[in-house]
Amino acid sequence: MSDGGLNLDDFGDLIERPSVRLRRRAEERRTRTGLAPKALGRLDGLGGWLAAAQGRVPVTPVASPRAVLFAGDHGVAALGVSARPAGSTARLVRRALDGDSPAAILARQAGVPLRVVDLSVDCPAEELPDEVTRHRVRRGSGRLDIEDTLTAAEAEQAFRAGMAIADEEADAGTDLLVLGDLSVGGTTAAGVLIAAMCGTDASVVTGRGGVRVDDLTWMRKCAAIRDGLRRARPVLGDQLRLLAAVGGADLTAMTGFLLQSAVRRTPVILDGVVSAACALVAQRVAFRAPDWWVAGQASGEPGQAKALDRMALEPLLDHGVAVGEGTGALLALPLVRAAGALAAELPELPDDETADEAADEAGDALREADEAARSATAAEAT
């Protein structure tokens, strides 16, 4: 609970798991399609997840997804922990708005609206559109190694902004959210949060970032995470104070967004290490919340792998794409949409046809076993 009156304990009561009963019904329906068990691989599990989240069987195909990118600068970038210059997030935002960033191109190709939300970009607010800056908390976040990144009031404002954005999307009919970030120094803040939550050392979670850094930059980043950890550990029991200490406005808002999306029963595809760190904090607030999320892609960041393992989330893809900015989640979106379409549109066979399919599969298995036994006998004879 924060001094400002935001009670995070409420999320534990407000968030329910997606329906286990409906997930079982979706699995039972799948057995009546005539396809062999596991023939669709992870698509079967995704289809069941969507059915449970939507509360209906058969599932409705994903029709109104939205990509939301939270933007902010981090004061720790001044230490040279990123390949990008400190305070340069505004360039990333403009590229996304102009349609020139990888995430913007992927979103356009998929026909998905892309929303950018400025929480703490270090530029004059008038340089960006009003719809981008209307949730801005401050201009840049503090240096996590030596000071709190936010005041208590700013942390609550950022958290509530994330909640409001989740409500806006749910009210607009968004049925699947794709989460990403635009930041310079954000992976360093994420590393501190993950190391603190997992009780591990800075070197275990320190990666090379979305723009791969050299060894000297990596060492500076590791030192910054170590210093941030010293400040994070004393406030581990209060997640809002933790986010204020080392998270910055964008990560704090993303945490509120994830929790409120779960309250509103809106599933989310996570992107890279930053969204994984926010998800890990959100899990500490409400242990049922991760059931509403899937991990889009393995980014190669050790901190992301640590966080996802802690939440028992397995990435859908692993293509070595490390650019961040929502690209990994957007790459996974077609897979989730395909799972929804298959779960919705594969017809159920009549009982007699289903029985015939099962008998054919059993016969095929027996024939394969018989051929394997004959081959083994022939090999022994020779």
State whether residue 236 is helix, strand or coil.
Answer: coil
Residue 35: CB partners within 8 Å, gap ≥ 6?
Answer: 346
Catalytic residue among 154, 169, 301, 325: 325
Q: Rg of the chain over CA atoms, in angstroms?
A: 23
Determine the Cα–Cα distance for residues 4 and 79; give it in Å rounded to an integer: 32
Active site residue 325: yes
Half-sphere exposure (Cβ direction) of 382: Cα atoms closer than 13 Å: 5
Residue 310 and residue 304 in contact, taking contact as beta carbons nearer than 8 Å: no
Residue 156 and residue 247 in contact, taking contact as beta carbons nearer than 8 Å: no
Smallest CA-to-CA distance from 4 within 190, 156, 200, 206 is with 156
DSSP string, 7-76: -TTHHHHH-----HHHHHHHHHHHHTT-PPTTTTTHHHHHHHHHHHHHT-SSPPPP--EEEEEEEEEBGG
Determine the Cα–Cα distance for residues 278 and 151; give it in Å rounded to an integer: 18
Look-up: residue for tokens 């304990």?
9
Smallest CA-to-CA distance from 217 within 76, 73, 79, 323 is with 79
Residues taking part in catalysis: 325
